[in-house]
Amino acid sequence: MHDIGNGAFIENLLNDNQMIIEPLYLPTQQTCGCQFYIYRGDLECSVAPGNKRHKLKYHLQQASKENKKILATFGGPHSNHIAAFVAQCKHQGLTPLIVVRGETWAKLTPTLRQAVDSGALLFPSERVDYKLGLRANIKKVVDEYYDHQVYWIPEGGAGAEGVRGCLDWANEIYRLCRGKPFHLCIASGTGTTAAGFAASGFSSMTVFSALKGVVSLTTNIENQCLDAGLSINTSIKGFDEALHGGFGKVSTAQLDFLKTLKTLNPDIPLDPLYTSKMVYKVNQLCAQGEWQHDHTLFVHTGGLQGWQGLPLEKQVY
C-alpha cells in the first residue's frame, strides 16, 4: 500500500469506504515514480452508476417541482446517459422519452433495447437537427404532441442543474480524500462533470475530452461553472486529442493497453469510451516524462455498458 504523507491513510481509506478508492497500477509507473488511485464511481449505484446519476439529480428534482411525469432527453444509440436516465425514471415511476441521434435502425442496440424494455419512448432524429439540442425541430414536435407537458434534460444531463449535481458529487469525493493532495483526472463529454469538480475543493485537475473537434475545453468548463452561478476553485488543464478514432470508437493501441492494465488491476474494469482513454493518455504522458503529479486520483465515471456496443473480438473484460 502506498503512502502519501500519512502512514495508514490509504489503507484506512480503503477499509472505511468499501474499497471505493483503490490503487490503480499503470504499466509506466515503476519508471515514472508516480502513484495512482481511482475513485470507483462505477460501484456507487446498481441502478445508475457513475456520474450520470449525479448529473440527473437536480433535473429530477426540478421535474418533480413542475409536476412533470414525462421526462425527455437526447442521446446516442450506445449512450450511458440514456442507460442511467431510463433507470432513474423507471425507479421514480416516470416515463422516459429519448430523442436518439441518427435515423431508425433495423435492429436496436443493446442500450436502446434495454431502454424500450424499461418503458422508454424513442424518437429518431436526423443528425443535423439533433445537433441543435433544445432548439431542434424534433423537440417542437414532441412538445406539441404531449401538450407541452414534457420536462427536457439536455444531452448528457448538462446544464446548470447537472453542474450543481456534479459539484455535490465532487464535494463528497473531496471529503472522502480528507484533504490529501490528490491531483484529479476527469474524462469529459459535455464538460458538465468537470465543471462541477472545478468548483469543488480540489486544487488541480486535468480534463480529457472524449469528443472529436473540441477546442477551448477549459474555457467551456469555466463558462459552465459561471452559468451555474459557481466560483472556479480548481486549476484546470485540458487535453482535447485523446480520440482513438473518434467518440464511440476504440483503437487497437487502446485495447492492447487495456489488456495489460487488466493484468495489473484484474478487478477494476474501465469503460471503453471515457475513463480508459483518459488513463491511456496519462500512461502515455508518464512514458514521455511529462506527468509531474506525484499522487493522481482518476474518477471512474461509469459507462461500462458501453462495451455492449463493441464486437466480441474487441471485448476486454
Q: Environment class of residue 125 by beta-carbon count within 10 Å: exposed (0-12), middle (13-18) or buried (19+)? A: buried
* Average model confidence (pLDDT) across the chain: 90
Please say if the pLDDT value at position 191 is more than 90. Answer: yes
77-96 burial, b for 16+ CB within 10 Å, e for fewer?
A: bbbbbbbbbbbbbbeeebbb
pLDDT digits (tens, 9 = 90+) for 43-76: 998 878 899 999 999 999 999 999 999 999 999 8
Question: Longest Cα pair distance anywhere in the chain, in angstroms?
Answer: 62
Active site residue 216: no
Instruction: Give the model's pLDDT for residue 309.
Output: 82
Q: What are 198's strand-pairing partners? A: none
C-alpha cell belonging to residue 87: 433507470
Instruction: Give the model's pLDDT for residue 242.
Output: 65
Instruction: Give the model's pLDDT for residue 263.
Output: 97
pTM: 0.90
Q: Which domains does the chain show, CATH number per domain? A: 9-46+160-314 (3.40.50.1100), 51-157 (3.40.50.1100)
pLDDT digits (tens, 9 = 90+) for 198-251: 999 999 999 999 887 667 889 999 999 999 999 999 999 998 776 788 877 899
pLDDT digits (tens, 9 = 90+) for 247-266: 778 999 999 999 999 999 99
Instruction: Give the model's pLDDT for residue 78.
Output: 83
Please say if the pLDDT value at position 15 is more than 60. Answer: no
CA distance 314 to 317: 10
Select which of 64, 79, 125, 216 is catalytic: 79
